[in-house]
Amino acid sequence: MTDEPTALVEVALPVPLFQTFTYALNPESTVIPVAGSRVVVPFRNRREIGVCLGPAQARVTGPKLKRIIEVPDDEPVLSADMIALCSWISEYYVVPVGLALKAALPASLTGASHPQPTRKTHRIVRLREDLPTLTHREKAFARAPQQRALFELLESLGGTSTLEHLLQRLAFSPSVLKALEKRGLIRVEAEEVDRDPFALRPGEAARTHQPTAPQRDAIRRLTAASPGEVFLLHGITGSGKTLVYIELLKEIVDVRGQTGIVLVPEIALTPQTVDRFRAVFGDRIAVLHSALSDGERYDAWRALKRGEKRIAVGARSAIFAPLSNVGAIIVDEEHEASYKQGETPRYHAREVAIVRARAEGSIVVLGSATPSLESWSNAEAGKYTLLTLPERVGGGRLPKVEIVDLRHRATPLADTSTGPGTGYSAVIRDELDRALSHTLQRGEQSILLLNRRGYSAFVQCNDCGDVVVCPNCSITLTHHRAPERLLCHYCAHQEPLRARCARCGGQTLKQRGLGTQQVERLVSDRFPGARIARMDVDTTSGKWAHAEILDRVGGGAVDILLGTQMIAKGLDFPNVTLVGVVDADVGINLPDFRASERCFQLLSQVAGRAGRGPKGGKVIIQTRVPTHHAVSCAVAHDYSTFVREELEGRIKPAYPPNLRLANIVFSGTSDRAASGLAIRGADWIRELLQTQTGGQVAIVGPAPCPIEKVKTRWRWHVLLKSQNPSELTRVGRYFMKRFPVPAALRVTFDRDPVTLL
Ligand SMILES: [Zn+2]
Ligand SMILES: [Zn+2]
């Protein structure tokens, strides 16, 4: 050993610790790491891939100092801008910087090995035979429910899936597969490479129609924008927002030689939008969709970094596209909850887009038919520039929306207390039934939406539609059994169940959402000849399942598309002339302060699916709360009234955008341990707030989360509320760094949560 001073660097590692680490350079290494370089380092008896942040600040010496093992790349993988962006994410969302940096890189660069794009041989399972009606199926699978499940799953995946997916992800047993193969219903074959599903999709020919006057105006103002300017593009469904995006990108990329990023909520749900970008920009676009293998994703990332591709299109993580000279960032359907990452780092891609754009001088376009209340308030406050597209292109009209009032009807809809014995006529009322039947007769298509997010148990009056809410939080109280009571999942307020409605004295009923499968069965019994496709989390676990189902709808192979909120997004099928909402109330009455907003967005979006072609269209909404503003404003296509009433409703008690919120979730495999930790955490924060912040941050809870258990973990939470964002950051960081959490228990901090379920 010599006494020569060792050069030291600071390294961020993807570990859940709020600190960086100091390492010595490896004298044998030929590459000297700089800020943004990947480094392989020893960490707790294992190897980790970290990111070098530059020379170390402190002079550390001694035997504990470890050396970098390897610098795998010749060039840094992250630019100074990207490191700054990740540092902001780390600070604002209260997450270790190493985890924020990891989120900005493709998985193959942060895994234990070096990127090695591999092409696997897949075993593909393919359906050989159609079993068209339910009666055929009942016969064929009378004693084989597992075989039926697999058969129907394949069907919903468009007829094929990989063997690996069926056996590993979906846990079907090989014997079920063999049995189906033996009966000649499926075939298993080898397929050589991972296909890029988009490569096979024909790019939709650019539409020939001229921009409307509002479109021209929007394009003009966007191309004249100053760097860092944020626009809210409020355009009704069918008003041609995509054309505006495309014209802006033509200017940015073709004329100015800059680059662009387009964020869409989920690539698989928006194949038509993506196709239009591909048709115009061809191979200058990198589509970062979820069906890419790690290797393909890395290739796309590298092509963007080298400037070979000029436009990145993708879901939220595409905000980290390694483009330089970014001229515009477009966030389509900016109100969508999927822009918020559900795991650490819990960033919101829309907010990250705005921070990135300000730092790099790009303009931002937030597009939506139903803007989030946050973005709308920012536009009203003058922080964002508002652009409006008030009419449909081609002179199309918004569809007529009708209400079917479910109150006072004899048969309660989906009353769990009476068991699942609800018949078709209780679920699909006469008006909707007639419309479905006429649509089928005309050879046109229908969409049936089940507004359901997998959770709901509330008590609603059968006469007036009233639902009991918490006096402190204005949140729907959740019905619990054993002991039977109503509970607030924000502040833990409890009250007994009443037999009669407090408002009108009417009889109350306990409600739970219906399952999509249940509705599918009822509808197919009623219309045995109809070709029905179901789209929900069960039928779309395959990487490319959504697009396959949607292609079948587009190709006319489906008469009735039935599904959850995932069918409401940017679909454009001219032959869909009827949209039916089976039960709007389930969404409205979720115990979440955004329930009304989500419901209004969903109803407006799904209504926008009808009447996209010359045949026009009709929407029927079944509800017990026809006068609720989420329903009445969706019926009238009236965003401005909705947003005004909803904003007023969030003043007292205050919710975003009238204040800032953070949701701290405590979880563990035992309910007692999770609640104990939540109580200690809440006490800890209360003490901190008393001594430190002068009342700028308030705390609510602890209470069990509305969804009390997720994957074997019990969940409790507390809410932090503040008008002062930096105080919220300070309290959050102080808590997350210092509050002791025993092993096996977990605490997560969710800043600006999009859901509190
Ligand atoms: Zn009542
Ligand atoms: Zn409450």
Three-class HEC string of 340-366: ECCCCCCCEHHHHHHHHHHHHCCEEEE
Q: Quote the ligand 2 centre to 660 CA distance (angstroms).
A: 18
Confidence of residue 564 (pLDDT cuts 50, 70, 90): confident
CA of 659 to the centre of ligand 2 (A): 17
Ligand in nearest proximity to the CA of 700:
2
| Predicted local confidence at residue 314, as pLDDT | 93
Question: For the segment 384-405, what is each residue's pLDDT rounded down to a tens digit?
Answer: 999 999 988 877 778 889 999 9
Judged by its nearest atom, the ligand closest to the C-alpha of residue 464 is 1
Mean pLDDT of the chain: 85
pLDDT band per the 50, 70, 90 thresholds, residue 121: low
Identify which ligand lies nearest to the alpha carbon of 463: 1
C-alpha to C-alpha distance for 652 and 654, rounded to whole angstroms: 5
Provide the sign of the torsion angle of the four alpha carbons 196, 202, 207, 208, taken in this order.
Answer: positive
User: In whole angstroms, what is the distance from residue 263 CA to residue 270 CA?
Assistant: 11
The answer to whether residue 679 scores a pLDDT higher than 80 is yes
Ligand 1 center from residue 500 Cα (angstroms): 8
Neighbours of 698 (CB within 10 A): 14
Over residues 66-79, the pLDDT tens digits come to: 999 999 998 999 99
Average pLDDT over residues 680-707: 88
CA 436 to chain centre: 30
Q: How far is the CA of 412 from the centre of ligand 1 (A)?
A: 14
> 200 vs 691, which has greater pLDDT?
691
Task: Point out the ligand nearest to the CA of residue 701.
Answer: 2
Tell me the pairing of strands 660-668 and 746-751.
antiparallel
Find all residues with CB under 8 Å of 462, minimum gap 6, and list them.
407, 408, 412, 506, 507, 508, 509, 624
Rounded Cα distance, 740 and 728, in Å:
19
Q: Which ligand is nearest to the CA of 495?
A: 2
User: What is the C-alpha to C-alpha distance for residues 528 and 523, in angstroms, rounded to an integer?
Assistant: 8
**pTM attached to this predicted model:** 0.82
pLDDT at 422: 57
Report CA(469)–ligand 1 centroid distance (Å).
13
- Nearest ligand by distance to the CA of 471: 2
The pLDDT of residue 382 is: 96
- The DSSP letter of residue 169 is I
- The yes-or-no verdict on residue 619 having pLDDT over 80 is yes
Lowest mean pLDDT among 136-140, 535-539, 663-667: 535-539
Pairwise CA distance, residues 570 & 333, whole Å: 9
Q: What is the Å distance from ligand 2's center to 756 Cα?
A: 13
Asked whether 486 and 496 are in contact (CB, 8 A), the reply is: yes
Cα 460 to middle of ligand 1, angstroms: 8
Give the DSSP letter string of 602-642: HHHHHHTTTT-STT--EEEEEES-TTSHHHHHHHTT-HHHH
CA of 508 to the centre of ligand 1 (A): 7
Using the predicted structure, report yes or no on whether residue 569 has a pLDDT greater than 70. Answer: no
**Judging by beta carbons within 10 Å of its beta carbon (0-12, 13-18, 19+), is residue 343 exposed, middle or buried?**
exposed
What is the Cα–Cα distance from 281 to 193, expressed in whole angstroms? 26
Residue 27: per-residue pLDDT: 84
pLDDT score of 735 = 95
Cα 587 to ligand 2 centre (Å): 19
Please tell me the distance from the alpha carbon of residue 28 to that of residue 25, in angstroms, as a whole number.
9
Ligand nearest to the CA of 509: 1
Expressed in angstroms and rounded, the spacing between residue 464 Cα and the centre of ligand 1 is 4
Confidence of residue 412 (pLDDT cuts 50, 70, 90): very low
Residues, beta carbon < 5 Å, ion ligand 2: 470, 472-473, 488, 490-491, 493
Query: Are residues 736 and 94 in contact, defined by beta-carbon separation less than 8 angstroms?
Result: yes
Ligand number, closest to the Cα atom of 408 = 1
Distance from C-alpha of 519 to C-alpha of 414, rounded to nearest angstrom: 11
Copy the structure tokens of residue 737.
Answer: 């760094």
Cα–Cα–Cα angle for 289, 560, 447, rounded to 5 degrees: 65
Tokens of 390: 């008030």
Looking at the CA of 486, which ligand is closest? 2
* Cα 586 to averaged position of ligand 1 atoms, centre (Å): 17
609 is written with which tokens?
């699916």
511 CA from centroid of ligand 1 (Å): 15
Taken as a whole, the chain contains a residue count of 757
For residue 199, is pLDDT > 50? yes
Query: Structure tokens of 415?
Result: 């009353």
Residue 237: per-residue pLDDT: 82
Query: Which tens digit of pLDDT belongs to each residue from 444-500?
Result: 999 998 866 545 578 888 788 888 888 888 888 888 776 788 888 888 888 888 888
Which of 214-218, 587-591, 625-629 is least confident? 587-591
Section 415-423 average pLDDT: 46
340 C-alpha to ligand 2 centroid (Å): 25
| DSSP alpha helix (H) spans, 369-461 | 373-380, 424-427, 430-441
Q: Which listed ligand is nearest to 468 at the C-alpha?
A: 1
**Closest ligand to residue 593's CA:** 2
pLDDT at res. 570: 58
Do the strands 311-314 and 259-263 form a parallel or antiparallel pair, or are they unpaired? Answer: parallel
Q: Which residues pair with 605 in a beta bridge?
A: none
Instruction: pLDDT band for 366, please (50, 70, 90 cuts).
Output: very high
Q: What integer pLDDT is reported at residue 329 of this predicted model?
A: 98
- On whether the CB atoms of residues 746 and 663 are closer than 8 A, the answer is no
From the CA of 9, how far away is ligand 2's center (Å)? 50
> Closest-lying ligand to the alpha carbon of 465?
1
- Residue 356's Cα: distance from chain center in Å? 21
Residue that is written with structure tokens 């249940």 in the block? 518
Classify the phi-psi angles of 550: left when phi > 0, otherwise alpha if psi is within -120 to 50, otherwise beta. Answer: alpha
Task: List the structure tokens of 673.
Answer: 């341990």
Nearest ligand, measured from the Cα of 462: 1
Stretch among 378-382, 574-578, 715-719 having the lowest mean pLDDT: 574-578
Going edge to edge, which strands form the sheet with 576-581?
A: 400-405, 618-623, 576-581, 445-449, 560-563, 532-535
CA 503 to ligand 1 center in whole angstroms: 5
- Whose tokens are 């449909």? That residue is 392
pLDDT score of 521: 85
Question: Which ligand is nearest to the Cα of residue 474, counting in written order?
Answer: 2
Query: Cα of 709 to ligand 2 centre, how many Å?
Result: 19
**pLDDT score recorded for residue 472:** 84
415 Cα: distance to centroid of ligand 2 (angstroms)? 25
Rounded to whole angstroms, how far apart are CA atoms 110 and 77? Answer: 11
Task: Dump pLDDT digits (tens) for 282-317.
Answer: 889 998 876 677 888 888 999 999 999 999 999 999
Distance CA 633, CA 95 (A): 39
Confidence of residue 617 (pLDDT cuts 50, 70, 90): confident
How many A from CA of 448 to the centre of ligand 1? 28
Ligand with an atom nearest the CA of residue 478: 2
What distance in angstroms lies between residue 111's CA and the mean position of ligand 2's atoms? 43
Q: Which ligand is nearest to the CA of 505?
A: 1
Predicted local distance difference test score (pLDDT) of residue 571? 67
CA of 477 relative to ligand 2 center, distance in Å? 8
Which token pair is 687?
Answer: 């003490």
Q: 193: pLDDT confidence band, cut at 50, 70 and 90?
A: very low
Q: What is the mean pLDDT of residues 150-168?
A: 74
Q: Which residue has the higher pLDDT, 681 or 394?
A: 681
Q: Where are the alpha helices (H) located in 144-237, listed in sequence order?
A: 145-156, 163-164, 174-182, 197-200, 213-223
b/e sequence 3-18, b meaning 16+ C-beta within 10 Å? eeebebbbbbbbeeee
Mean pLDDT, to the nearest integer, of 578-604?
87
- Ligand 2: centre distance to CA 718 (Å): 11
- Average pLDDT (524-548) is 77
3-state DSSP call for residue 571?
A: coil
pLDDT band at 249 (very low <50, low <70, confident <90, very high): very high
Q: How much distance in Å is there from the Cα of 649 to the middle of ligand 1?
A: 21
CA of 409 to the centre of ligand 1 (A): 14
Decide if 53 contacts 20 (C-beta within 8 A): yes
Top pLDDT among 120 and 569 is at 569
Q: 171 exposed, middle or buried (CB, 10 Å; 0-12, 13-18, 19+)?
A: exposed
pLDDT number for residue 156? 64
Per-residue model confidence (pLDDT) at position 254 = 95
Distance 377 CA to ligand 2 centre (A): 26
SS3 readout for 699-719: EEEEEEEEEEEECCEEEEEEE
Looking at all shown ligands, the one closest to residue 491's CA atom is: 2
How far away, in angstroms, is 507 Cα from ligand 1 center?
Answer: 7
Question: Average pLDDT for residues 601-626, to the nearest whole number?
Answer: 84
Expressed in angstroms and rounded, the spacing between residue 509 Cα and the centre of ligand 2 is 21
**Lowest-pLDDT choice from 179-188, 342-351, 514-523, 727-736:** 514-523
Scored b (16 or more CB within 10 A) or e, 182-201 reads eeebbeeeeeeebeebbeeb
Q: In whole angstroms, what is the distance from residue 593 CA to residue 756 CA?
A: 8
- Which pLDDT score is estimated for 537? 64
Ligand 2 centroid to Cα of residue 471, in Å, is: 6
Expressed in angstroms and rounded, the spacing between residue 747 Cα and the centre of ligand 2 is 22
Position 59 pLDDT exceeds 80: no
Write the CB contacts of 409 (distance below 8 Å, at least 6 apart in sequence).
429
